[in-house]
């Protein structure tokens, strides 16, 4: 924990990934985790015992800010923990920091009037994506080992791709949410980390039924830590998702994975689907305008002057 805090104090002023630092509390919790690992008090280590976890600011912590990056919500304090925060704590993880998002987690970049710009550690001139840009930047900088995220239209997957970290958009019903968005089947609270194995461990701590989210699946479903080989498995490859243009370097990189799977014995078949970009945009617009957009309009109706100058809300 001391090493992570030292790293954060050196790098976070430049990358601006954290909205709140809980370092003193984290060090105290780390001492209790150390006791568990040393067998003091008869308590056994839990799955995430002692691991520094940065949580997205929208994942509420009782008694702390819940602004979602908007001046509209300045001064609002959470009345209860989000399920994701509770799951981290129950598994022994230590929430040492909370991470930036764009306003209402609604864009694929991460900056707002409230918190400023979150920058990519490797090259501050490049975007780290959004809306989980704070988690992605923190993981890339080594200022957290695990980070909670959420995703409707790419908010976990985009920053993971842009920062070289790993993100998992959990299928609907695996991980509990709270409030109105818990009923949105596009939505998925999920883990981000620096490795696939760490994402699996974190996902298995987050998943399972929750009394506050009736859409969570019973019984708890977990990811396997090891799998049988892929020999004979039939896989479909579709690069362009309809008619989207893909940069040649991106396509070449994408094709490396099915090539490796084919070399390992899988049967990979390239397919096409009758989708058009207009079809996809119509589906996305219908979702965001009727659910997410309507909610934001209601929240911000009397405070338009406080909003960040974003042209549209497109991701969460």
Indicate if the pLDDT at residue 8 is higher than 60. yes
**Mean pLDDT within 34-50:** 95
Of 22-31, 67-76, 132-141, 241-250, where does mean pLDDT reach its minimum? Answer: 241-250
- Least Cα distance to 8 among 134, 114, 195, 165 occurs for 134
Position 74 scores a pLDDT of: 95
What are the backbone dihedrals phi and psi of residue 205, each rounded to the nearest 5 degrees, phi first? -80, -30
Residue 152: which CATH number? 3.90.1300.10
Kindly tell me if the per-residue pLDDT of 275 is higher than 90: no
Share of the chain above pLDDT 70, in %: 98
Residue 183 lies in a domain: yes
Highest mean pLDDT among 90-99, 279-288, 294-303: 90-99
Q: pLDDT of 117-165, one tens digit each?
A: 999 888 888 888 999 999 999 999 999 999 999 999 899 999 999 999 9
User: With 60 as the cut, is the pLDDT of residue 312 above it?
Assistant: no
Written as six digits, the tokens of 57 are: 């600011």
Query: Considering the domain boundaries, does residue 298 fall inside one?
Result: yes
Asked if residue 269 is part of any domain, the answer here is no
Nearest to 56 by CA among 120, 126, 124, 144: 144
Q: What pLDDT was estimated at residue 287?
A: 80
Question: Does 288 score more than 90 pLDDT?
Answer: no
Mean pLDDT of 13-27: 97
User: Does 133 map to a domain?
Assistant: yes
- Mean pLDDT over residues 262-291, rounded? 89
Q: Tell me the backbone φ, ψ of residue 148, rounded to 5 degrees.
A: -80, 145
105, 112, 131, 138: the catalytic one is: 131
Range from 96-105, 156-165, 268-277, 284-293 carrying the lowest mean pLDDT: 284-293
Give the distance between the most distant pair of CA atoms in the chain: 62
Give me 158's structure tokens: 């985009």
Q: Residue 103: which domain range?
A: 2-223+284-306
pLDDT of residue 146: 98
> How far, CA to CA in Å, does 150 sit from each of 25, 105, 160?
25, 9, 12
| Model confidence pLDDT, tens digit, residues 194-224 | 999 999 999 999 999 999 999 999 999 999 9
Closest-CA residue to 3 (of 141, 165, 143, 97): 143
- Is 62 catalytic? The answer is no
Answer yes or no: is 194 within a domain.
Answer: yes
Given a cut of 70, is residue 313 above it in pLDDT?
Answer: no
- Asked if 56 is an active-site residue, the reply is yes
| 84 assigned to some structural domain | yes
178 part of a folded domain? yes
In a domain, 273, yes or no: no
Exactly one of 112, 150, 155, 165 is catalytic; name it. 155
- pLDDT score, position 310: 65
- 131 in catalytic set: yes
Token pair 């839990």 is found at: 46
Mean pLDDT, the chain, whole residue set: 92
Integer angstrom CA distances of residue 95 from 43, 62, 84, 275: 20, 13, 11, 42
Average pLDDT (269-290) is: 87
The number of domains in the chain is: 1
Highest mean pLDDT among 49-58, 174-183, 225-234: 49-58
């Amino acid at each position: 924990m001391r090493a992570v805090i030292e790293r954060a104090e050196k790098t976070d002023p430049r990358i601006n990934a954290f909205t709140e630092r809980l370092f003193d509390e984290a060090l105290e919790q780390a001492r209790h985790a150390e006791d568990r690992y040393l067998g003091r008090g008869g308590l056994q280590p839990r799955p995430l015992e002692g691991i520094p976890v940065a949580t997205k600011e929208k994942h509420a912590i009782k008694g702390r800010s819940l602004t979602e990056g908007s001046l509209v919500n300045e001064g609002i304090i959470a009345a209860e923990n989000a399920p994701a925060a509770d799951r981290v704590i129950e598994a022994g993880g230590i929430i040492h920091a909370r991470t930036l998002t764009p306003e209402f987690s609604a864009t694929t970049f991460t900056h707002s009037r409230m918190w400023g710009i979150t920058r990519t550690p490797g090259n501050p001139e490049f975007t780290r994506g959004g809306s989980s840009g704070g988690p992605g930047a923190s993981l890339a900088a080594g200022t957290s080992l695990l980070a909670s995220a959420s995703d409707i239209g790419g908010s976990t997957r985009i920053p993971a791709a842009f920062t070289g970290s790993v993100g998992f958009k959990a299928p609907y019903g695996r991980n509990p949410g709270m409030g109105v968005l818990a009923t949105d089947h596009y939505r998925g609270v999920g883990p981000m980390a620096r490795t696939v194995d760490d994402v699996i461990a974190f996902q298995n701590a987050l998943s399972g039924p929750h009394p506050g989210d009736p859409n969570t699946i019973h019984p708890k479903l977990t990811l396997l830590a090891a799998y049988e080989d892929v020999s004979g498995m039939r896989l479909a490859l579709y690069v362009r998702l309809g008619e989207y243009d893909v940069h040649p370097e991106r396509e070449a990189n994408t094709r490396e994975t099915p090539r490796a799977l084919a070399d390992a014995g899988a049967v990979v078949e390239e397919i096409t689907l009758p989708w058009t970009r207009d079809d996809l945009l119509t589906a996305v617009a219908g979702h965001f305008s009727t659910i997410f957009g309507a909610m934001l309009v209601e929240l911000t109706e009397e405070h338009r002057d406080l909003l960040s100058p974003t042209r549209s809300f497109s991701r969460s």
